[in-house]
Amino acid sequence: MHAVILNSCLSFSLITESDETDSLALLQIKDSITDDPFGVMASWNETVQFCHWRGVTCGRRHQRITGLNLESLNLTGSISPHVGNLSFLRVLNLQNNSFSHEIPPEISRLHRLQDLLLNNNSLGGEIPSNLSACSQLLQIDLGHNSLVGRIPEELGTLSKLRILVIRYNNIRGSVPYSFRNLSTLEVLSASSNYLNGSIPDIFSQLTKLTEIRFADNSLSGMIPPSIFNLSSLIRFSLQLNEIQGLGSCIKVEKLYMQGNFFQETIPLSLASLRGIQELNLSRNNLSGKIPEFLESFQLLQSLNLSDNNFEGMVPTKGVFTNATATSVRGNSNLCWGPLEFHLPKCKFKQPKKGGLSLTLKVIISIGCALLGGTFAFTFLYHCCVRRDIKDDCSSGSEKFLRLSYQSLLKATDGFSSSNLIGVGSFGSVYKGSLDQGETTIAVKVLNLVHPGASKSFSAECEALKNIRHRNLVKVISACSGVDYHGHDFKALIYEYMVNGSLDEWLHQAPTVGETNESPRSLTFSQRLNIAIDVAMALDYLHHQCETPIVHCDLKPSNVLLNDDMIGHVGDFGLVRFLLKLPDSCSGNQSSSLGVKGTIGYTPPEYGMGNEVWTQGDVYSYGILLLELFTRRRPTDEIFQGSVNLHNFVKTALPYQVEQIVDPVLVEERGEGIISTDNNLNGDSTRAFINIQESLIAILEVGVACSAELPRERLDIRDALAEMCRIRSKL
């Protein structure tokens, strides 16, 4: 009897100790979260047993934590290393948040972990090599972060791994040869990184692979044949690389190879693609005739051969009978084909009878030789002297689509005024469509008559080729050449932002269907989130790039909004690189001025000839922040003499805020709309006070950033931290 009681006491003691370990680990995880806009962490307190806390799952038998799911809660902070103390954890799901800093190596202590989902955050650092200690892992998703370094060879020991996703990061190096041991792997996704070298021939043992995604990297060489011997492979995407050979394809259903370096003709080996459903070979250097075997692919639903050098007749059967499913545009030497393609008739040369005399043949030969020599000299001169026309954005580290002037002309309907969505100091922006309407783009055509346009193009190419952040507009391509009139042509192609610019939301007249009484407007929550998005972008440019970058032209029209109203900083035409950050506002800067910026947003010291540095961007951010919440431009007519937007707001703080902020915010607060927008709890009086205090705090940040003297301004990191703190209190 005593032994039974003793065993029971010991078991209870062990359970209690285990409970305390899990509970303390969760509280440490909570302490590492700096912003919790939905108040999720409020349930994590000692009045409730931790198994009932939001996002926590416990096992039935031992009441140990087996799952932690905090997906899509807009949480900000870091991942606490104490997560490694949750020794029974099988699922760690933190995707779709704003966690930053590094992935803690302590995760390697989670020997039962099966699913590691950290995608869509702002995590940096390298992928921990000791993740290989989590031998039960079935799924790893680290996509859409800012991870650097190489793919650890050690991951090749995860013998149970089914899904590995590392897309949209800054990972370099090659695909590890050790991956040949991942015999259970079904999905391998590493698109949009900086992978280079050839694809290793490691796939013969990976018989369960259904998807391989290596698009938007710098991979080169030939495609290893073992890939196409995989009977399970359904999707293989390799677009936007430097691949030179297609290899032999057999079982693939979806093959995306656009934007590579393929030469010569489509190989006969592709005739084995009997099960292919989607095939994209656009934007390569393929030539010769379009092979007739493509007509026989009965399951082929989409074929894109655009922007190559094909010639001759277009086949007329199979997928070619559907003009909406087939694209052959951008191949100027094609003829005939289905009527829907609107191609010219083929020209057949008829042999002529008779011949020329020997003397005439000699004269013609000499004339052709002289003419050819003149042409060769002219061509070499053109290539050497005017190399800048072609090579402005041709660095090997870049991964632009290869788009011709002709393809951009077609994408924008001839640069139609109906597609014009913006006009700037250096050019015009048009909305366009690629791949039969599947991809919407924004095309910035430089006005080369402007003396600074070419320099702006080069600066933007240099700035965008090595940076990537979720709050920076993504460049898709660059085009530099000549138009149909023989004039120089330069354009940058960006990801299209469906909700336009911040300037349009703040100041544009009502659009069609709106009235002057009820134009679209931004809520308090949207304005705060956009302000934080812009601050994150500047923090990345100033502090996280290898060479600090100064934007030099931050303003509402250069902040673009996607369909989720997330802010993206764009237009890098005036950027400057700092080889050495100044120790003070009067220190040695490495970047000469040479920029004008935009009146009202340019810091006063630039007007006095001072050199460019990061505090200039901070000033612009402060003005943008004040404009965002007052809806007054710094160039409004009310600002005359010594009265400017900065002093206008500073004088009103803290007791006259309601008189200067955008009236829409006052109405929103009064109607209680803002509480639903931020999931605020508590009575309306408390909510009213929260918003009042938040508005004052935000405007104080704007005033501190736009101080006249650079040394009195906040650093962008401090401004970002304060804005996040303000959001966390709502």
Could you give the CA distance from residue 706 to residue 620 in angstroms, rounded to a whole number? 7
Q: In what order do the strands lie in the sheet with 309-313?
A: 287-288, 309-313, 333-335
Q: Which tokens go with 177?
A: 């040869």
Contact predicate 26/65, CB 8 Å:
yes
Give the DSSP per-residue string, 470-526: TTBPPEEEEEEEE-TTS-EEEEEEEE--TT-BHHHHHHPPP-TT--TTS-----HHH
* 3 state SS of 364: helix
Radius of gyration of the chain (CA): 30
- 431 annotated as belonging to a binding site for a ligand: no
Q: Looking at 35, 141, 503, 553, which residue is catalytic? A: 553
Q: Which tokens go with 632?
A: 């007054």
* 3 state SS of 237: strand
Q: Which tokens go with 45?
A: 């307190």
* 3 state SS of 78: strand
- Single out the residue of 527, 513, 710, 678 nearest to residue 608, CA to CA: 710
Dihedral angle of Cα 261, 265, 270, 276, to the nearest 10 degrees = 70
Helices marked H in 32-86 = none
Could you give the CA distance from residue 457 to residue 488 in angstroms, rounded to a whole number? 13
The b/e string for 400-435 (b: 16+ C-beta within 10 A; e otherwise) is bbbbeebbbbbbbeebeeebebbebbbbbbbbbbbb
How far, in Å, are 25, 75, 88 from residue 83 at the CA level? 6, 16, 11
Peptide bond into 654 cis (omega under 30): yes
Burial of 397 (0-12, 13-18, 19+ CB in 10 A): exposed
- Single out the residue of 447, 388, 449, 483 nearest to residue 573, CA to CA: 447
Residue 321 is which amino acid? T
Q: Which residues pair with 91 in a beta bridge?
A: 67, 115
Could you give the CA distance from residue 712 to residue 705 in angstroms, rounded to a whole number? 8
Could you give the CA distance from residue 173 to residue 189 in angstroms, rounded to a whole number? 15
Whether 553 sits among the annotated catalytic residues: the reply is: yes
* 3 state SS of 565: coil
How far, in Å, are 47, 51, 84, 500, 640 from residue 43 at the CA level? 9, 11, 22, 38, 52
Residue with tokens 């359970």, as numbered in its chain: 15
Residue with tokens 């592709």, as numbered in its chain: 270
- Single out the residue of 94, 161, 151, 143 nearest to residue 126, CA to CA: 151
Contact predicate 348/335, CB 8 Å:
no
Residue with tokens 């094909």, as numbered in its chain: 310
Could you give the CA distance from residue 399 to residue 194 in angstroms, rounded to a whole number? 9
Contact predicate 121/146, CB 8 Å:
no
Q: What is the DSSP letter of 557?
A: G
Q: Which tokens go with 712?
A: 């009195």
**Active site members:** 553
| Residues tagged in the binding site annotation | 444
| Residues tagged in the binding site annotation for ATP | 444
